[in-house]
């Protein structure tokens, strides 16, 4: 046995939960993503999806992807830098830049690779990158790859952010990178205060809108638009895998910065370009979101109903302001147990344990789509209420 095999042969944490019958991962879905799905031969209410707009099964998007397959084939067989740029890539970038209110945009193969590539491409050893403690793992990995000095502040604590900024040279490049919507807790970045500090301490700001696009702002443009701060934010990042019903990601900003990234961002230059079908699907989803404001209105109606019902039933849901509703459990093993019991009761939710949160802050994540009904939410709330009471988590 080699050294690597020797190191990992004792890793049996997943097997412990498998043996207990509460292992929640890698369940096989055998139907389209929607508010109710077939999973391992089991019919469940889907409250574990990031498809906030409910567009993943929309026939218009499926047809757009099929047309792209027919015209361009299944892949591009190269990076955007060389032979992998299609006219629909360029068109989508133009539309996304206009949508989020920036000069230009770049599309990458995944949202993760946007943060992983953009942050190190922008910063040198004399620069500083400052992140919220609860920023997404892709931001953390992008920060780690950068040669810049790495700093962080307590979650949404503006006094702590100012404490960090006060110590930095005024003339240095300082990039604050923050989630617009925090993906586990559902709360929003205090963007107004961050922008004030940006101006006071001569910083730049990059906002990850992965969970804001299609949810907040005019036509679902995101949290930056929601706060009226698009012009004050230097870079806006987003993904296709949530509201845009596809796979991929983008970065948008001023023309000069995007020009630099186009020629230096390693995850852009050295990754195969996004598939024709995925690109066409994201573009069609964007068109639908812009032309159907009632979709976002429906999302907020069902979200507000769910927030009200969970509060009425005594759940601890923290400071969420979004369709992401954390139901706090505060115990790793109980979090797995609750997830398994909910699945058995026909409700799919996601467990959130370390490293996605602190050990004392474990939770299950209940997320809404525009296509959920109040009746489905009610079924989910009552099933979870029974489980949480039986497990002594709430009264």
136 is annotated as an active-site residue = no
Token digits of residue 171: 């003339």
Catalytic residue among 109, 183, 246, 273: 183
pTM here?
0.96
Q: Kindly state the DSSP code that residue 227 receives in the 8-state scheme.
A: T
What string of pLDDT tens digits covers the 395 residues of the chain?
Answer: 789 999 999 999 899 989 999 999 999 999 999 999 999 888 999 999 999 999 999 999 999 999 999 999 999 999 999 999 999 999 999 999 999 999 999 999 999 999 999 999 999 999 999 999 999 999 999 999 999 999 999 999 999 999 999 999 999 999 999 999 999 999 999 999 999 999 999 999 999 999 999 999 999 999 999 999 999 999 999 999 999 999 999 999 999 999 999 999 999 999 999 999 999 999 999 999 999 999 999 999 999 999 999 999 999 999 999 999 999 999 999 999 999 999 999 999 999 998 888 888 999 999 999 999 999 999 999 999 999 999 999 98
The span from the CA of 228 to the CA of 170, in Å, is 26
Dihedral of the CA atoms 117, 122, 128, 131 (nearest 10)? -40
Catalytic residue among 152, 242, 334, 372: 242
Please list, residue by residue across 60-80, b when 16 or more beta carbons sit within 10 angstroms of its beta carbon and e when fewer do.
ebbebbeebeeebeeebeebb
Catalytic residue among 136, 152, 211, 226: 211
Q: What is the DSSP string of 271-334?
A: SBPPPHHHHHHHHHHHHHHHH-HHHHHHHHHHHHHHHHHHHHTT---TT--SSEEEEE---HHH
Token digits of residue 41: 């031969």
The span from the CA of 348 to the CA of 326, in Å, is 14
Quick one: CA dihedral 129, 134, 139, 140, positive or negative? positive
Q: Which residues contact 127 (CB under 8 A, 6 or more apart)?
A: 146, 147, 148, 149, 172, 173, 174, 175
42 is annotated as an active-site residue = no
CB distance 158 to 190 below 8 Å: yes
330 is annotated as an active-site residue = no
């Amino acid at each position: 046995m080699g050294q690597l095999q020797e190191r990992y042969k004792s890793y049996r944490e997943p097997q412990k939960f498998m043996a207990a019958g509460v292992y929640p991962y890698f369940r096989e879905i055998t139907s389209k993503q929607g508010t109710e799905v077939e999973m391992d031969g089991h019919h469940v209410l889907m409250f574990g999806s990031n498809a906030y707009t409910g567009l993943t099964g929309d026939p218009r998007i499926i047809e757009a992807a099929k047309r792209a397959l027919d015209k361009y084939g299944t892949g591009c067989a190269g990076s955007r830098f060389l032979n992998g740029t299609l006219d629909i890539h360029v068109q989508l970038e133009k539309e996304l830049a206009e949508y989020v209110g920036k000069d230009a945009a770049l599309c990458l193969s995944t949202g993760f690779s946007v943060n992983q590539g953009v942050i190190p491409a922008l910063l040198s050893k004399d620069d500083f990158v400052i992140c919220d403690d609860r920023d997404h793992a892709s931001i953390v990995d992008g920060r780690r790859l950068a040669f810049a000095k790495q700093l962080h502040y307590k979650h949404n604590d503006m006094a702590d952010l100012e404490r960090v900024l006060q110590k930095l040279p005024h003339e240095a490049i300082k990039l604050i990178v923050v989630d617009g919507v925090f993906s586990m807790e559902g709360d929003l970045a205090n963007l107004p205060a961050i922008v004030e500090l940006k101006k006071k301490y001569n910083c730049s700001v990059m906002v990850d809108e992965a969970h804001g696009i299609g949810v907040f702002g005019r036509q679902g443009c995101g949290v930056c638009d929601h706060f009226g701060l698009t012009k004050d934010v230097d870079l806006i990042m987003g993904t296709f895998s949530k509201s845009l019903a596809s796979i991929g990601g983008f970065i948008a900003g001023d023309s000069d910065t995007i020009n630099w990234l186009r020629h230096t961002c390693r995850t852009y230059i050295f990754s195969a370009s996004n598939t024709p079908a995925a690109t066409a699907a994201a573009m069609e989803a964007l068109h639908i979101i812009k032309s159907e404001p009632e979709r976002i209105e429906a999302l907020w109606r069902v979200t507000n109903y769910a927030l009200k019902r969970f509060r009425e039933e005594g759940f601890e849901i923290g400071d969420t302001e979004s369709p992401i509703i954390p139901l706090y459990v505060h115990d790793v093993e109980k979090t797995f147990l609750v997830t398994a019991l909910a699945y058995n009761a026909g409700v799919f939710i996601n467990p959130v344990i370390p490293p996605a949160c602190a050990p004392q802050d474990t939770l299950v994540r209940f997320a809404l789509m525009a296509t959920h009904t109040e009746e489905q939410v009610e079924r989910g709330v009552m099933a979870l209420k029974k489980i949480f009471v039986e497990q002594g988590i709430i009264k």
